[in-house]
A and B are shown apart, each in its own frame.
Chain A
């Protein structure tokens, strides 16, 4: 699996869209801080607002990265030389998680620097911010698991676009959770999904541990399900 992971990382580094995503982390962070400063709404939780848009972009690029392995048929090169299917899947999953997390880390680091420059440490509670960042990173890993699952299950170019489409119902649920008066059990269910989790990070997360746990559960479930399906599926 290490060999495949190394190959995935090498190929990602070669892709312009992947490098643009890393640069986008810096651009979005500066943009968010500058606009908030201009509208006099800059605080230490504003940085989490841009995350949903960023997650959509990462999912599209990440999904296309995996689906390219099918559209170019290069997945055959891995299987023909004896790599186990579980290794192929997990190498893709780990590469996707790294791809989702590194630009987001760049985004957070840039945001923190921008906030420190523009408003100083005013209103900053490090423990809350670190907890929110942790929730966001685990949510990103869960989204990467979902992206990998869809791309590896659809097995063609559509697998690159489908994760993006799937995110819209999640966003709708997030909006419903905030706008409608739903039962607590329904709210908890919706909040266990990564995208709605990201929408509640605009203020300190009160259920951070629970959200991290649900992200881990989503990651594990989709990874196991994806691996099981991929192990049995016929490829072209």
Chain B
């Protein structure tokens, strides 16, 4: 598999606080990589490093196979676009002028694509309205338009739907999917709104205390989160034998608990277990979403 971004044991220390603590993650080419973590987990720190805004204390990363300590990294960064936290836009200019400035920064030959970009983010009709008079959602969309200047093939979005209204969230989701599917742009997206993230991400990286605790594809996550019956018994070895005989798909969690997928006949199961002298303690329906999976992975509380 080709990777756009690979980090290798990357660390970032601010005096006594470790923002990143040996983080290793891989962003596959063509993916929408959902970067999930609590406040202060280290998401923005990593994004800042990728963008060249901050430097790692130790470890490093590769962008398109080029190491961050390599001189070529500046050249490679031309292939990425980013919105880090708040949109970086000039408030005393119009949306179009902001894009013109970004085109000038990148040394692009003409402004012919600007109208197309403004249309893409839904800001074509803002005319001479200055950015300082824009709503937060409009600024967010302009920030994305700025990051799309020069047609990058890797887009880094840090909390892109912060401050957007429901309609804005839907539009942003459609935009991200469109960019990924039609323009084949790899997208690294960090978000606290996990429900929204679960609608678009093809891969996930779960970060906690500056480390990746789990990296998985959306399919793997779906398998882990699929509907099941969680059963607590006195002996799971008996349970597994019975379930095998019944031809059921299951997963043993520990000595007492197991998840059974599909729709087992509970009466048959209970009778079979009774014959084997195995008691059922509890049975419950279990349906985990991304939020639940995240909480079960990193636990409650906050990093702040």
Q: Chain A residues in contact with chain B, CB under 8 A?
A: 3-4, 6-7, 10-11, 14-15, 72-84, 232, 234-236
Contact = CB atoms under 8 A, between A and B. Distances in A.
A232 to B, nearest CB: 8
B89 A80 contact: no
A74 B88 contact: yes
B238 interface: no
Interface-centre pick from B52, B75, B85 (highest chain A CB count, 10 A)? B52
A79 B90 contact: no
A220 B48 CA distance: 31
Nearest to B152: A81
Nearest to A77: B88
Nearest to A74: B88
B74 interface: yes
Contacts of A6: 104
A80 B82 contact: yes
A235 B48 CA distance: 8
B105 A7 contact: yes
A22 to B, nearest CB: 18
Contacts of A80: 51-53, 77, 80-82, 84, 147
A36 B90 CA distance: 43
A217 B89 CA distance: 36
A167 B89 CA distance: 31
Contacts of B93: 14
Chain A interface SS verdict (over half): helix
A161 B2 CA distance: 49
Interface-centre pick from A11, A14, A76, A234 (highest chain B CB count, 10 A)? A76
A72 B89 contact: yes
Contact of B76 (A72, A82, A234): A82
Nearest to A15: B92
B146 interface: yes
Q: Pick the 10 closest A-B CB pairs, nearest first.
A: A82-B77, A82-B74, A73-B88, A234-B54, A80-B51, A3-B107, A82-B78, A79-B52, A235-B53, A80-B82
A81 B88 contact: no
A79 B147 CA distance: 12
Contacts of B75: 82
Nearest to A85: B52
A3 B82 contact: no
B42 to A, nearest CB: 14
B150 A81 contact: yes
A235 B85 CA distance: 13
B7 to A, nearest CB: 17
A73 B86 contact: yes
A90 to B, nearest CB: 15
A77 B105 contact: yes
Contacts of A79: 51-53, 77
Contacts of B237: none
Interface in B37-75: 48, 51-55, 73-75
Contact of A7 (B73, B86, B88, B104): B104
A72 B54 CA distance: 17
Contact of B51 (A3, A14, A76, A232): A76
Interface in B127-162: 146-147, 149-150
Given A3-B107, A15-B92, A80-B53, 15 more contacts: A11-B90, A14-B97, A72-B88, A72-B89, A73-B86, A76-B53, A76-B84, A78-B105, A80-B51, A81-B106, A81-B150, A82-B75, A82-B76, A234-B54, A235-B54
B101 interface: yes
Contacts of B272: none
A36 to B, nearest CB: 38
A58 to B, nearest CB: 20
B91 interface: yes
B240 interface: no
B234 interface: no
A124 to B, nearest CB: 43
B102 interface: yes
Interface-centre pick from B51, B78, B86 (highest chain A CB count, 10 A)? B51
A7 B84 contact: no
B88 A10 contact: no
B269 to A, nearest CB: 57
Contact of A83 (B55, B91, B97, B105): B105
